[in-house]
Amino acid sequence: MNLKPHSRALGTALILSTAVLLGGCMTKPVQPLSADGTYCYRAGKMAKFKTACTGQAAPSEQAQADAQRFEADPEALTVYVMRKRWVDGTIVVPLSVDGSTSIDTVPESWLRLKLPAQQPHRLTARWNDQSVDLVVDGKPGEVRFVELAGSHFAWGTDFRLNATTPAAAIPKAQASRLVADLDLRR
């Protein structure tokens, strides 16, 4: 079959664009838990790459599957916090709720919080003598999604806490590890 040059170029472009699009759908698997139950993130496969591990044991696979349904609790404000960005630094960033409960986060991790509803709650992330806050509130049965967005470059590391949408947060959670599932209503 003798194709015209523009048909051949169009066919090549179609094949290349399909390969690129399919390549973007592939995600690396979530790293397994350590023997002590903590979750560690490694920024590469070689031993020389830095590893960051949570200080607390991660919830079970069953708890992760339950949390990944992203259902509201009719008696609580449910808050999901995601930490997954391509420029995130390989450091542990503790996240506190209302100045007390502290949960270690690492890249490619997320957590679910069940909080007393109808009052504001302050989420605080701390790293390298810096911190950032976000206040979340809502009624019983409502769900909020928050992103702990990190940027790590040669000139510094920075984090932000941002309200986000389910459409943006859920794919990140599905490609990450649940590191805390806390009911703080008591």
All structural domains of the chain with their residue ranges: 30-183
Using alpha carbons, select from 153, 151, 121, 143 the residue that is nearest to residue 134: 121
What is the structure's pLDDT at 29? 64
What is the structure's pLDDT at 35? 80
What is the structure's pLDDT at 33? 80
Spans in the chain with pLDDT lower than 70: 1-29, 44-49
The residues, ordered by sequence, that sit 6+ positions from 81 with a Cβ below 8 Å of its Cβ are 95, 105, 110, 111, 113, 123, 146, 147, 148
What is the structure's pLDDT at 149? 92
Cα separation, 13 vs 127, in Å, equals: 45
Element (H, E) at 18: helix 5-25
Query: Per-residue pLDDT tens for 76-118?
Result: 999 999 999 877 878 899 999 999 989 999 999 999 999 999 8
What is the structure's pLDDT at 22? 44
The model's pTM is: 0.80
